């Protein structure tokens, strides 16, 4: 009788373990960490802005229960896509977390950035919550967890990292087919630009500068340099590393022909136009200072629409004759309706 009872208990425990295994799966995040997750993710916290954007593109915005505090400034316009974001709790940010607030949301998964402090990732994991790290870059080696990584090849690092990141998020959310469709659209836009600018000699490529506040810019190791090169331009700040502060003397020496300002930093463009120090710059004299629309997202890390739309917008700005047949509004609308479920409406 005892043996039969013990055998039944063993079989019951085995059945429970088998059922639990069927209800979970293991993913490898972009810091090569293996994480066991529930098979069906229903409650998501995004403490990384690119992950937040991709979650919406994968049609899983209704599963968000918490977001990073700084998303409105880092990724403006998402509230027009999903107004519910403005009402969601903010239990942390890129490099900080309030563990009590996070636990109160009962998330099935927490997405964080690759440069979140190791102690923050450990704190969330120790609380029993699965943490998935997203970097959207690949091949960093020892720099894998840094904000300003070093790559052997920036272009390849971001292209392959974007593929891995979107597929990873799609695997976590159970939307792998939509993830593949999103990547196909991103790289189709890139290939179109690639074909149109083929044959432009290096010495005829437009000299570009990305103007951030307080003389900050993006140098080598950031996706910004890739989007400039992919659009047929040359980032004059490619001699500096990552997100960096430069001097007015540097900018005068580089003498960019075109200056881009991200939409989130739009006042910088007016400041450049009126400042005496900038008047000798070719881009200022020729009035070639452009504010990138929010869908361009020319940031340090890529997003699918940066490839699908941003590289195309920038190339059309630089070489309008080669892209005269491209209606950007129609192209952007098509992408937004397909992946966000809304037409594109820019800022008021």
Q: Which of 135, 159, 182 is the last residue of a domain?
A: 135
Asked if the structure places residue 148 within a domain, the reply is no
Q: What tokens were used for 55?
A: 């979650």
Position 19 pLDDT exceeds 60: no
Can you give the CATH number for the domain in which 218 is found?
A: 3.40.50.1980
Residues 130 and 245 in one domain: no
| Per-residue model confidence (pLDDT) at position 9 | 42
Q: State the chain's mean pLDDT as an integer.
A: 91
Residues 213 and 311 in one domain: yes
**Residue 240's domain spans which residues?**
191-339
Percent of the chain past pLDDT 90, that is, above it, reads: 80
Residues 128 and 235 in one domain: no
Residues 314 and 246 in one domain: yes
Residues 129 and 203 in one domain: no
Q: How far is CA 51 from CA 5, 55, 207, 322, in A?
A: 50, 6, 31, 33
Judged by DSSP in three states, 229 sits in helix
Q: Place 241 in a pLDDT band, splitting at 50, 70 and 90.
A: confident
Q: What tokens were used for 139?
A: 């091949």
| Per-residue model confidence (pLDDT) at position 57 | 97
Residues 131 and 240 in one domain: no
CB-CB neighbours of 345 under 10 Å: 11
CB-CB neighbours of 232 under 10 Å: 23
Mean pLDDT of 250-272: 96
Asked if the structure places residue 112 within a domain, the reply is yes
Residues 242 and 325 in one domain: yes
Asked if the structure places residue 80 within a domain, the reply is yes
Domain count along the chain: 2
- pLDDT per residue over 266-324, tens digit each? 999 999 999 999 999 999 999 999 999 989 988 878 999 999 999 999 999 999 999 99
Q: How far is CA 32 from CA 35, 144, 175, in A?
A: 9, 10, 21
Position 66 pLDDT exceeds 50: yes
Mean pLDDT of 58-84: 95
Mean pLDDT of 142-166: 83
Asked if the structure places residue 168 within a domain, the reply is no
Residues 222 and 84 in one domain: no
Residues 197 and 299 in one domain: yes
pTM of the model: 0.88
Position 141 pLDDT exceeds 80: no
Residues 129 and 196 in one domain: no
Asked if the structure places residue 149 within a domain, the reply is no
- pLDDT per residue over 25-54, tens digit each? 999 999 999 999 999 999 999 999 999 999
Residues 115 and 227 in one domain: no
Position 142 pLDDT exceeds 50: no
- Looking at beta carbons, which pairs linking 89-98 to residues 24 or more positions away fall under 8 Å? 89/65, 90/66, 91/45, 91/47, 91/66, 92/47, 92/68, 92/120, 93/47, 93/68, 93/69, 94/47, 94/48, 94/49, 94/68, 94/70, 95/120, 96/120, 97/47, 97/123, 97/124
Residues 217 and 331 in one domain: yes
Position 206 pLDDT exceeds 90: yes
Asked if the structure places residue 83 within a domain, the reply is yes
Q: What tokens were used for 277?
A: 């120090």
d(CA 327, CA 165): 29
- pLDDT per residue over 72-90, tens digit each? 988 888 999 999 999 999 9
Residue reference for tokens 């997202």: 297
């Amino acid at each position: 009788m005892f043996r039969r009872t013990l055998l039944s208990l063993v079989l019951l425990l085995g059945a429970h373990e088998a059922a639990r295994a069927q209800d979970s799966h293991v993913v490898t995040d972009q810091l090569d960490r293996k994480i066991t997750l529930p098979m069906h993710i229903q409650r998501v916290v995004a403490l990384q802005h690119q992950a937040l954007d991709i979650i919406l593109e994968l049609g899983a915005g209704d599963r968000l229960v918490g977001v990073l505090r700084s998303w409105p400034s880092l990724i403006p316009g998402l509230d027009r896509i999903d107004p519910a974001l403005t009402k969601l709790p903010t239990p942390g940010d890129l490099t900080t977390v309030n563990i009590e607030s996070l636990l109160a949301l009962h998330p099935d998964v927490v997405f964080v950035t690759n440069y979140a402090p190791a102690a923050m990732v450990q704190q969330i994991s120790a609380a029993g919550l699965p943490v998935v790290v997203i970097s959207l870059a690949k091949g960093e080696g020892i720099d894998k967890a840094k904000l300003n990584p070093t790559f052997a090849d920036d272009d390849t690092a971001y292209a392959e990292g974007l593929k891995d990141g979107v597929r990873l998020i799609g695997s976590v959310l159970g939307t792998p087919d939509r993830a593949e469709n999103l990547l196909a659209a991103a790289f189709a836009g890139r290939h179109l630009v690639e074909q149109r600018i083929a044959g432009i000699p290096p010495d005829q490529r437009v000299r570009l500068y990305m103007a951030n506040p307080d003389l900050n810019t993006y140098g080598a190791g950031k996706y910004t340099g890739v989007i400039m090169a992919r659009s047929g331009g040359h980032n004059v700040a490619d001699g500096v590393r990552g997100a960096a502060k430069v001097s007015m003397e540097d900018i005068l020496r580089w003498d960019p022909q075109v200056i881009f300002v991200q939409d989130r930093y739009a006042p910088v463009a007016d400041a450049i136009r009126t400042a005496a120090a900038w008047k000798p710059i070719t881009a200022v004299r020729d009035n070639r200072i452009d504010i990138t629309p929010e869908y361009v997202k020319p940031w340090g890390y890529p997003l699918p629409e940066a490839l699908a739309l941003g590289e195309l917008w920038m190339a059309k700005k630089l070489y309008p004759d080669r892209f005269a047949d491209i209606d950007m509004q129609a192209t952007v609308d098509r992408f937004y309706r397909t992946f966000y479920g809304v037409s594109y409406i820019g800022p008021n």
